[in-house]
Amino acid sequence: MQRATSLERRVDGIAHRLLRDAPADGIRAGLIEFTVFVLKQAWACIFGAALLVVIVAARLWYPDDAALARNDALTIAAVLIQIAMLVFRLESGRELWVIVLFHITGTVMELFKTDVGSWAYAADGFLRIGGVPLFSGFMYAAVGSYMVRVYRLFDLGFTRYPRRWITAVLAAAIYVNFFAHHWWWDARWVLLAGVVVLWLPTVMHARIWRRTIRLPLLVVFAGVALFIYLAENIGTWAGAWAYPDQAEGWQPVSLSKLSSWFLLMIISVVLVAWVYPPQVPAALLREDEARARL
């Protein structure tokens, strides 16, 4: 497992010893691959999952008359989760920089969006900037955490990945549009078309256990955006924040938010790509070298 933390290397070593004699073919082999896939995904989601559990627990059990406001308690819990991620070697310091950057870009957008009324938080607590509680930035950081962790847990490789400077320009345009569409034309559909044009040829190679799966990267993007949308429904149900149409009572988040999360996820993908430059899978490089020698 490349770029793994010290804890992950120990876990990987134990897994290799346990599965060393596992069959390579047949139904049992397929079940093992599926189990490893699920466990790796769960490991990659640990930051976001822990934060979501805290948000739901606060909705169910946090007393309304507590001396510490619920939003402040959520912020403290989020900070403790982030500290634990570093102390227990679940994240590296290098990855933390990407997560912090995504935290900052998310918080800036939160300040703007709450100001224009796109959504709102409960107006309690002291650990906030304006109407934005500080725990909100950690929700964006959770997306960044998942991205950097899934990249190395699955030893991701890519074929026909677009030039990074072009993706950076598109990501910047996406971020600007989140602000600009409030007083100018909403360019999201043009930006979505740009994402399709850039990443349509790209194939992702993900190593699970013995097998490597190959998926169109756009399909992966759509799957992650759907997963985030489902988590957002849980977050709004738990009262972490609310959209205007949820002011009178909770209802599912509008499906239109799927496109917003899809575009926001592209920003995190581009940020991660600057920490872990997309690489062609080693096996394909070896094949190219073998052909060159013929």
List the chain domain ranges. Answer: 6-293
Q: Are 204 and 161 in contact (CB under 8 A)?
A: no
For residue 200, name the pLDDT band (cuts at 50, 70, 90). Answer: very high
Longest Cα pair distance anywhere in the chain, in angstroms? 76
Strands 203-207 and 212-216: antiparallel
Q: Are 225 and 256 in contact (CB under 8 A)?
A: no
Q: Which two tokens stand for residue 69?
A: 């406001």
The total of other beta-carbon atoms located within 10 Å of residue 256's CB is 8
- Amino acid identity of residue 137, one-letter, is G
Per residue in 258-286, pLDDT (tens digit) is 999 999 989 989 988 887 889 888 666 55
pTM: 0.87
Q: Are 176 and 190 in contact (CB under 8 A)?
A: no
Q: Across residues 95-99, what is the average pLDDT? A: 80
Instruction: Answer whether residue 53 shows pLDDT above 50.
Output: yes
Q: Are 132 and 74 in contact (CB under 8 A)?
A: no
The closest alpha carbon to 275, from 167, 151, 175, 90, belongs to: 151
Q: Which two tokens stand for residue 253?
A: 């988040």
Q: Are 5 and 87 in contact (CB under 8 A)?
A: no
Question: What percentage of the chain has pLDDT greater than the value 70?
Answer: 94
Per residue in 215-267, pLDDT (tens digit) is 999 999 999 999 999 999 999 999 999 999 998 889 999 998 999 999 998 99
